């Protein structure tokens, strides 16, 4: 591994450690909104880990694979953030199962 690549990874590794720490801290809280926020921080950690592996991948196929893995973090972040917002404000959708199913489907 090139020294410049390792030096450039330091901020991303710090970000990953902070996201994982926030995930664990929020998961230990007993409120519904804190548990929902743990999902937000966990999906951000997943997204950052995918980006780190993408930077470390030597081939274009590996970079494409890890870039596709990051989409899981992207989709899960948006859904968990919506759930967090709803639980934090104590609001609900009219049909939550249908709404989250449709939001979870990729755009065609």
Listed residue (78, 95, 87, 94) closest to 40, CA to CA: 78
- Is it the case that residue 93 has pLDDT exceeding 80? no
**Whole-number percent of the chain with pLDDT over 90:** 41
Per-position DSSP letters for 4-32, written without gaps between them: HHHHHHHHHHHHHHHHHHHHHHHHHS-SH
Distance CA 79, CA 76 (A): 5
pLDDT in tens, 29-66: 888 889 899 999 999 999 999 999 998 888 999 999 99
pLDDT of residue 1: 61
Tell whether 28 is covered by a domain: no
Can you give the residue range of the structural domain that contains 102? 33-108
Per the structure, how many domains does the chain have?
1
Q: Is residue 61 part of a domain?
A: yes
């Amino acid at each position: 591994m090139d020294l410049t690549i390792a030096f450039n990874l330091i901020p991303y590794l710090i970000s990953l450690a902070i996201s994982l720490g926030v995930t664990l801290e929020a998961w230990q809280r007993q409120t519904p909104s804190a548990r929902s926020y743990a999902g937000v921080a966990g999906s951000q950690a997943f997204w950052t880990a995918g980006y780190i592996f993408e930077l470390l991948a030597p081939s274009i196929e590996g970079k494409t694979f890890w870039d596709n893995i990051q989409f899981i973090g992207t989709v899960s972040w948006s859904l968990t953030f919506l759930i967090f917002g709803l639980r934090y404000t104590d609001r609900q959708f009219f049909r939550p199962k249908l709404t989250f199913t449709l939001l979870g489907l990729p755009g065609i």
